[in-house]
């Protein structure tokens, strides 16, 4: 499911709007996401929080900071979509890791069943979807054959 954040896309999403774009704002967003995802099984919560952290960090480093963090939980199948909106116009790209970085999208690509970017008038939304389990219960990972980015 590509995330475009049009009017029809907003139902069911939880969102955190950045009060500041600095490192304190990133920490606040991560804490908010941790609280929102508290009922997930531990391994899935850690994966989801890693995706949150990487997408926030990429927005901070490459797009002037995140504007909003969005989370969508679905229960059938069990999956989480993490989306970070920013005001940047560039497209995220995977690159060969080096001492300065380059691992963020590689991690997102490995963890998520699908990820991508949707551009809009005020910037873009970078999103990733991953399978989850609540309180350790198994569930089937999502398959997304229509999204930008990558789909398994």
Of residues 120 and 71, which shows the higher confidence score? Answer: 71
Structure tokens at 132: 């989850």
User: Whole domain around residue 117: which residue ranges?
Assistant: 12-145
DSSP annotation string for 78-134:
EEEEEEEEES--SPP-----BTTB--HHHHHHHH-SEEEEEEETTEEEEEEEEE--B
* pLDDT given for residue 66 in this prediction: 79
Across the chain, mean pLDDT equals 80
Is residue 75 in a domain? Answer: yes
User: Tell me: the pLDDT tens digits for 6-33?
Assistant: 555 567 888 888 766 677 888 889 999 9
Asked if the structure places residue 29 within a domain, the reply is yes
Matching residue, tokens 């929102």 = 36
What share of the chain has pLDDT > 70, as a percent? 78
CATH of the domain at 54: 3.30.565.10
Question: Residue 144's pLDDT band (boundaries 50, 70, 90)?
Answer: very low
- Determine, yes or no, domain membership for 152: no
Would residue 27 count as lying in a domain? yes
Query: Residue 6 domain-assigned?
Result: no
* Paired strand residues for 117: 126
Distance CA 54, CA 66 (A): 11
- Tell me how far apart the alpha carbons of residues 117 and 113 are, in angstroms, rounded to a whole number: 14
What pLDDT was estimated at residue 152? 44
The answer to pTM > 0.75 is yes
CA distances from 91 to 59, 105, 140 (A): 11, 12, 30
What is the average pLDDT across 56-84?
89
Instruction: Name the domain count of the chain.
Output: 1
Percentage of the chain lying above the pLDDT 90 cut: 39
Is residue 131 in a domain? yes
pLDDT tens, 79-119? 999 999 998 988 888 888 888 877 889 999 999 999 999 99
pLDDT of residue 6: 57
Q: What is the pLDDT of residue 7?
A: 54
Question: Bridge-partner residues for 79, per DSSP?
Answer: 74, 131
């Amino acid at each position: 499911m590509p995330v475009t954040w049009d009017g029809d896309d907003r139902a069911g999403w939880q969102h955190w709007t950045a009060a500041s774009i600095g490192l304190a704002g990133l920490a606040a967003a991560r804490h908010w996401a941790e609280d929102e995802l508290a009922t997930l099984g531990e391994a899935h919560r850690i994966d989801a929080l890693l995706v949150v952290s990487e997408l926030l960090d990429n927005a901070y480093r490459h797009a002037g900071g995140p504007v909003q963090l969005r989370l969508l939980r679905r229960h059938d199948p069990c999956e989480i979509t993490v989306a970070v909106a920013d005001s940047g116009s560039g497209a995220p790209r995977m690159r060969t890791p080096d001492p300065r970085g380059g691992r963020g999208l590689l991690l997102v690509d490995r963890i998520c069943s699908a990820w991508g970017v949707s551009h809009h008038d005020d910037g873009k939304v970078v999103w990733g979807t991953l399978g989850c389990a609540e309180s350790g219960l198994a569930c089937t990972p999502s398959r997304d054959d229509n999204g930008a980015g990558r789909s398994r």
